[in-house]
Amino acid sequence: MQIAIVGLAGSGKTTVFNTLTRGHAETGGYGGLTLNVGVVKVPDPRLDRLAEIFKPKKVVHADVTYVDLPAPPASTEGHVGTEELPPEHLARLRESDALLHVVRAFEDAAVPHPSGSVDAARDLEQLDLEFVLADLALVDRRLERLVASGRHGTQAERDANEREAAVLAGLKSGLEAGRPIRDLGLADDDAKTIRGFRFLTEKPVLVLLNIGEGDIAAAGDRAAAIEAGYRHEHALVAALSAKIEMELGELEPDEAASFMTELGIAESGLDRVIGLSYRLLGLVSFLTAGPDEVRAWPVPDGATAVDAAGTIHTDLARGFIRAETVAYEDLVTLGSMAEARKAGRLRSEGKTYRVRDGDVLEILFSR
Ligand SMILES: Nc1nc2c(ncn2[C@@H]2O[C@H](COP(=O)(O)OP(=O)(O)OP(=O)(O)O)[C@@H](O)[C@H]2O)c(=O)[nH]1
Ligand SMILES: [Mg+2]
């Protein structure tokens, strides 16, 4: 899973990136072109409990890759700003599974805002519009190609082109009205037709308001105020102070805990952002546990036992026989797989079983 951190210049993207990755990338770069990439382990206390029971050689967390991108240049007549990002950056952006859109909401005279004033709603809309324009440019180019090649090829090819053109025409009118693709309620078939384009406004988005150090107590209210004017599908809004969170990340755990109590922060920003991105992406984790390894595996909510097997290894999906399944809570209450079996809490599930968050699975398969 990869999440792209996007936002206007100086909104705090790199500070957020550092918070999430415990990194030390340079901040305050003002439009520099560095791209930062970091892999973050998803905190999961269940793995620690399972490790106590199974004493495995290693514990493997699910991970998320965060990519911190420079702000795209603003669009001008005839140029779509986002498309002028260096090709590697644009590719990174397109291949990401979700966007973390950082919006400046902190006042700080020492950090001048490029537009002269702090206005989170305005900035949010401005970058959203850039992404709409980038998708629209891509749709237009593809439609032109389809028209040009429309009369060539086999009947089947021509039918496929026609279908694709119809779906794209629908996107075009939505985008021209300023609507992101994630709002258009595409049918599954249509979504599949356009999957290869990796449209930016189709990706789920977590809007992260970067609020001032003095506003932490009002974080919930600030997020709610923006959310009220941001009625979109597959979008969540949260608020935190990136600067404080970064400082917290640099403290020893007990120091950090007392500083958090002092500031009235219940949960670290890292845990919250990761939790929210999981929800946004519709992911759940199933777990595997044994003497070699205790591990969390992210899968889309709705994944079946055979999908889960395939996440571990394609061979497990191909030769799938059944999944021995126990809920995490039952396993830790009963203390071992053997006890879970005796208590009748270990179930045998078939291919179409829908995996739940926290299921501990053992896949039986034939080679
Ligand atoms: N007071 C305050 N300053 C912040 C906060 N977050 C970031 N800053 C400052 O704002 C400036 C820009 O932060 P960055 O994290 O570099 O922002 P960015 O979005 O990565 O900037 P570019 O990559 O140049 O577009 C730096 O000087 C930060 O120290 C915050 O929560 N409060
Ligand atoms: Mg930066």
pLDDT in tens, 238-274: 999 998 988 888 888 899 889 888 888 877 777 788 8
Q: Which residues have a Cβ under 8 Å from the Cβ of 228 and sit 6 or more positions away?
A: none
Please give the biggest Cα pair distance in the chain: 71
| Between 274 and 14, residue with greater pLDDT | 14
Considering only CA atoms, give the Rg of the chain: 23
The pLDDT tens digits of the residues spanning 289-316 come to 999 999 999 998 889 999 999 999 999 9
Q: What's residue 260's pLDDT?
A: 87
pTM of the model: 0.88
The pLDDT tens digits of the residues spanning 57-88 come to 999 999 889 999 999 989 998 899 999 899 99
Tokens of 352: 């179409």
Q: Cα–chain-centroid distance for residue 198?
A: 14
The pLDDT tens digits of the residues spanning 152-188 come to 788 888 888 999 999 999 999 999 999 999 999 999 9
Vertex 292 angle, CA 287 and 296, to 5°? 20
Q: What's residue 274's pLDDT?
A: 82
Question: In angstroms, what CA-CA distances link 296 with 49, 176, 293?
Answer: 12, 42, 10
| Among the bound ligands, the one closest to the CA of 242 | 1
The pLDDT tens digits of the residues spanning 333-356 come to 999 889 999 999 999 999 999 999
- Report whether 152 contacts 48 (CB < 8 A): no
Q: How confident is the model at residue 22 (pLDDT cuts 50, 70, 90)?
A: confident
Pick the residue whose CA is nearest to atom 26 on ligand 1: 28
The pLDDT tens digits of the residues spanning 178-204 come to 999 999 999 999 999 999 999 999 999
Q: What's residue 30's pLDDT?
A: 54
In the sheet that holds 293-300, the strands lie side by side as 58-60, 293-300, 283-289, 359-365, 320-327, 347-349
End-to-end CA distance of the chain: 29
Question: In angstroms, what CA-CA distances link 69 with 24, 91, 98, 129, 367?
Answer: 15, 11, 13, 17, 44
Q: Is 326 exposed, middle or buried (0-12, 13-18, 19+ CB in 10 A)?
A: buried
Query: Is residue 242 lining ligand 1, measured as CB closer than 6 Å?
Result: yes
- Report whether 356 contacts 284 (CB < 8 A): yes
Expressed in angstroms and rounded, the spacing between residue 35 Cα and the centre of ligand 2 is 8
Q: What's residue 24's pLDDT?
A: 77
Atom of ligand 1 nearest to the CA of 27: 16
Tokens of 12: 């705090």
Vertex 262 angle, CA 260 and 267, to 5°? 25
Q: Cα–chain-centroid distance for residue 2?
A: 6
Query: Is residue 210 lining ligand 1, measured as CB closer than 6 Å?
Result: yes
Tell whether the torsion through CA atoms of 337, 340, 345 and 347 is positive or negative.
Answer: positive
Q: What's residue 55's pLDDT?
A: 95
Pick the residue whose CA is nearest to atom 23 on ligand 1: 70
Query: Is residue 15 lining ligand 1, measured as CB closer than 6 Å?
Result: yes
| Between 32 and 267, residue with greater pLDDT | 267
Expressed in angstroms and rounded, the spacing between residue 217 Cα and the centre of ligand 2 is 26
Query: Is residue 9 lining ligand 1, measured as CB closer than 6 Å?
Result: yes
Pick the residue whose CA is nearest to atom 25 on ligand 1: 9
Q: Hey, what amino acid is at 319?
A: G
Average pLDDT in the chain? 91
Pick the residue whose CA is nearest to atom 17 on ligand 1: 12
Neighbours of 318 (CB within 10 A): 13
Query: Is residue 106 lining ligand 1, measured as CB closer than 6 Å?
Result: yes
Pick the residue whose CA is nearest to atom 30 on ligand 1: 243
Q: How confident is the model at residue 34 (pLDDT cuts 50, 70, 90)?
A: confident
